[in-house]
């Protein structure tokens, strides 16, 4: 099977498993896991921020950040395609009792002007109090597109002027950094908190980090505990994270190049109506003739290719650490012949 459902499906490499095997561990709820402590320091330093906290998932780091920054009666401003809104089970309401203001950005990327136009009058008792802006980079639903940092800076300045907090869902931030060449420390200066995933493009089995200032992360520890996310000798998992930060960032370019090659080969095929521009490791294409994505994905599966439906007529491929050049060649051969052949039923 060629599995392009997500960059979460990767297996830990032999070298990664070796460092996990050898990791010194302790009880992290007592703050005594040396490997988790090093990972948290490393992540904070990478962004030039004060502190970080290791959590089981990106959903948890995002939800903790939202809980840290908001209160009941307040509102989170984000794009309507945001993971925090679409794919976290309604957690903004459930965990934080906060309201959401949904903006319609360019493939999920919002602007400072849009944010400005959606800040509520704090003296109007009808309206929730605007408190937090949340961005996502890369934008999953937007086909892995990357923010122009200049726009992020404008949003950051607006948030400072308007006394709003700014959070980044950076589940795939490393893809954005590698594609844009931006300095992670600029991100650290602009955002109040940043969530990053180790279990996506970086190829770890488990783990996300929330990075921020000391006070936010101290509060995050309290919230992680109440959510049941306090882990014990989880340094075994953190070791994989340290390894991935050292060895798996630069190589994301390979995933990006393979995704671009897939898109180039898809663009003239009969079953493809259109493709979102490919900037990183995600390829989202629309099917021609109103073909249903669920049917098409089933057809792919019959030919040994796994993908996910991403809307009624849209299909998503995600390239990753376990998708090689050989698999790329095989994929292209299959989609050009078996899948594209109009005279074959299956």
Residues engaged in binding ligand PLP (CB under 6 A)? 57-59, 62, 83, 136, 140, 169, 171, 197, 199-200, 208
Using CB atoms within 10 Å of the CB of residue 180, give its burial: 0 to 12 exposed, 13 to 18 middle, 19+ buried: middle
Least distance in Å: CB of 82 to ligand PLP? 8
C-alpha of 30 from chain center: 29
Interatomic CA distance for residues 154 and 152, integer angstroms: 5
Least distance in Å: CB of 102 to ligand PLP? 16
Helices (H), 135-172: 149-162
Using CB atoms within 10 Å of the CB of residue 254, give its burial: 0 to 12 exposed, 13 to 18 middle, 19+ buried: middle
Closest-approach residue to ligand PLP (CB): 58
Interatomic CA distance for residues 132 and 337, integer angstroms: 49
- Beta carbon nearer to ligand PLP, 7 or 40: 7
Q: What is the 8-class DSSP label of residue 271?
A: T
Structure tokens at 239: 């070791």
Interatomic CA distance for residues 62 and 95, integer angstroms: 11
- Beta carbon nearer to ligand PLP, 16 or 173: 173
Least distance in Å: CB of 148 to ligand PLP? 18
Least distance in Å: CB of 153 to ligand PLP? 21
Least distance in Å: CB of 120 to ligand PLP? 26
Asked if 29 and 193 touch (Cβ cutoff 8 Å), the reply is no
Using CB atoms within 10 Å of the CB of residue 290, give its burial: 0 to 12 exposed, 13 to 18 middle, 19+ buried: exposed
Least distance in Å: CB of 16 to ligand PLP? 18
Interatomic CA distance for residues 15 and 166, integer angstroms: 36
- Beta carbon nearer to ligand PLP, 99 or 134: 134
């Amino acid at each position: 099977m060629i599995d392009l459902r997500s960059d979460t499906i990767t297996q830990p490499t032999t070298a990664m498993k070796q460092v996990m095997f050898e990791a010194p561990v302790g009880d992290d709820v007592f703050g005594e896991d040396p490997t988790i402590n090093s990972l948290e320091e490393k992540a904070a330093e990478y962004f030039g921020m004060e502190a970080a906290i290791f959590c089981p998932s990106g959903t948890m780091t995002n939800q903790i950040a939202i809980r840290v920054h908001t209160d009941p009666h307040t509102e989170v401003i984000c794009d309507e395609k945001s993971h925090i809104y679409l794919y976290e089970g309604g957690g903004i309401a459930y965990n934080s009792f906060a309201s959401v203001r949904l903006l319609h950005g360019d493939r999920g990327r919002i602007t400072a002007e849009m944010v400005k136009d959606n800040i509520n009058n704090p003296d109007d008792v009808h309206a929730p109090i605007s408190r937090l802006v949340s961005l996502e980079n890369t934008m999953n639903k937007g086909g892995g597109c990357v923010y122009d940092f200049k726009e992020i800076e404008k949003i950051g300045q607006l948030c400072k002027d308007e006394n709003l907090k700014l959070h980044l869902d950076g589940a795939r931030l490393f893809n954005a950094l590698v594609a844009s060449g931006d300095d992670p420390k600029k991100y650290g200066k602009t955002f109040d908190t940043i969530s990053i995933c180790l279990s996506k493009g970086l190829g770890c089995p488990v783990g996300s980090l929330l990075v921020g200032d000391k006070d936010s992360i101290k509060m995050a520890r309290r919230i992680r505990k109440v959510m049941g996310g306090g882990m014990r000798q989880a340094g075994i998992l953190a070791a994989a994270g340290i390894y991935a930060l050292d060895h798996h960032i630069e190589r994301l370019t390979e995933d990006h190049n393979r995704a671009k090659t897939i898109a180039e080969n898809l663009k003239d095929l009969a079953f493809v109506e259109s493709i979102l521009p490919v900037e990183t490791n995600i390829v989202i294409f629309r099917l021609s003739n109103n073909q249903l994505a669920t049917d098409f994905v089933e057809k792919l599966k019959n030919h040994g290719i796994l993908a996910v439906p991403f809307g009624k007529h849209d299909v998503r491929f995600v390239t990753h650490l376990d998708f090689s050049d050989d698999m790329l060649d095989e994929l292209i051969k299959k989609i050009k012949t078996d899948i594209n052949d109009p005279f074959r039923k299956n």
